[in-house]
Amino acid sequence: MNPKPKKARLNLRIYFTLIVLAEISALLIVTSLMVSLFGDEAELTITLPTIIFMLVASLFIGYTANFLLSRAFFRPITRLGSAMQKVAKGDFSVRLDTESRIREIQNLYTDFNIMAKELGATEIIQNDFVSNVSHEFKTPINAIQGYATLLQQMNPENETDAECVRKILLNTTRLSDLVGNILLLSKLDNSSLELSESEYRLDEQIRLSIVLLEERWSAKEIDLDVDLDEIVYRGSEKLLAHVFSNLIGNAVKFSPQRGTVRVLLRKGNGGDIIFSVSDDGPGIPEHAMEHVFDRFYQTDSSHKAEGNGLGLALVKQILTVIGGTVDVTNNADGPGCTFRVLLPNR
């Protein structure tokens, strides 16, 4: 089904200006017609200079009316629109004040300030709750994981018991990863994470991420095409480790058996660093493109058991904090998709 064509949108100031000019022009035309029809009887005459003068006067009146309306009405509406865009992006600290004497404008600003204040308070409560609950989960999860590891080391003779222990370890590991990601996201959201920067080899960090994921890509017999420039980078090594491991692990997860994962690291012309990872999996549906970095969103339900839907959200948030960007596109020359990271080289 073809999407409906978008209707042209008109700027509100231009819209009202045109209305004012249309009214004045209509009045001018009606006046001219009346003079033409009844000029002889009323002994009235209309000349070209008179018409030009009336047109100039109508333009001046229209501009003056637009200027006055802009100060009294349009400027507060524009400010409100800008503030609402900030709130939509998660900035609930925005507050507005106005000197307008229009009661509706004053009420609108007051209601907006109340809304932003309440949203901010709700976000603080939510973040504190998530952070505290996630922190409290860590201790019992670690305890379960420890006891399950001891049971596994005892080499249970019964295959059923051994499988149960294996599943306990697998699911506690998944739950531990989920809680860890939630805690990290909460700290990033609240800007409570201390960013310790150091100078290190970025290409070596990416190689280490690939080695740590060896169990996953070797099990699927993935062919790795790795091309990394030697780059010394100053930044948060701990945070970027999450970015690389999540993106490479995501590519391995969605690649088919005996598929190919391509990892690239380059320094751009402007000095920025470009990292990309491509797979030859099913790609991302167009309707899901704008949601892939949303929390708990998973495009393919068949892989839900392999993740929790927080990996890409974590990548996006980390790069936002350190001043980088990430985007994704489906491969034009074949199946799969490519995630591209841009890092500022300070």
One-letter identity of residue 32: S
Across 78-101, average pLDDT: 82
Q: How far is CA 313 from the centre of its chain?
A: 9
pLDDT for the residue numbered 1: 42
Residues present in the chain in total: 346
Query: Cα separation of 30 and 58, whole Å?
Result: 14
The answer for residues whose C-beta is within 8 angstroms of residue 284's C-beta and 6 or more apart is 292, 299, 328, 330, 337
Query: Cα separation of 146 and 138, whole Å?
Result: 12
Task: Encode pLDDT of 173-187 as tens digits.
Answer: 777 777 776 777 766
Query: Cα separation of 64 and 70, whole Å?
Result: 10
Lowest mean pLDDT: which of 94-98, 256-260, 261-265, 340-344?
A: 94-98
Q: How far is CA 93 from the centre of its chain?
A: 19
Closest C-alpha to 62, from 22, 26, 10, 11:
22
pLDDT for the residue numbered 63: 66
Distances (CA, A) of 115 to 90, 92, 168, 199, 240: 13, 9, 45, 44, 36
Do the Cβ atoms of 290 and 328 come closer than 8 Å?
no
Phi, psi dihedral angles at 44 (to 5 degrees): -110, 145
Q: Please say if the pLDDT value at position 307 is more than 60.
A: no
Q: Which has more pLDDT, 330 or 66?
A: 330
The secondary structure of residue 294, as a DSSP letter, is S
Kindly state the tokens that stand for 15: 């819209």
Residue 174, H or E segment: helix 159-189
Lowest mean pLDDT: which of 17-21, 140-144, 149-153?
A: 17-21
Closest C-alpha to 331, from 293, 280, 290:
280
276: β partners: 264, 340
Lowest mean pLDDT: which of 141-145, 171-175, 231-235?
A: 171-175
Distances (CA, A) of 5 to 2, 9, 113, 285, 286: 9, 12, 36, 22, 18
Other residues' Cβ atoms within 10 Å of the Cβ of residue 10: 10
The answer for residues whose C-beta is within 8 angstroms of residue 303's C-beta and 6 or more apart is 253, 254
Do the Cβ atoms of 258 and 223 come closer than 8 Å?
yes
Other residues' Cβ atoms within 10 Å of the Cβ of residue 4: 6
Task: Order the strands of the 337-343 sheet from edge to edge.
Answer: 223-228, 260-267, 273-278, 337-343, 325-330
Residue 235, H or E segment: strand 232-235
Other residues' Cβ atoms within 10 Å of the Cβ of residue 17: 18
The answer for residues whose C-beta is within 8 angstroms of residue 29's C-beta and 6 or more apart is none
The pLDDT confidence band at residue 90, using thresholds 50, 70 and 90, is confident
What CATH number labels 198-343?
3.30.565.10
Q: Please say if the pLDDT value at position 206 is more than 90.
A: yes
Q: Please say if the pLDDT value at position 124 is more than 80.
A: no
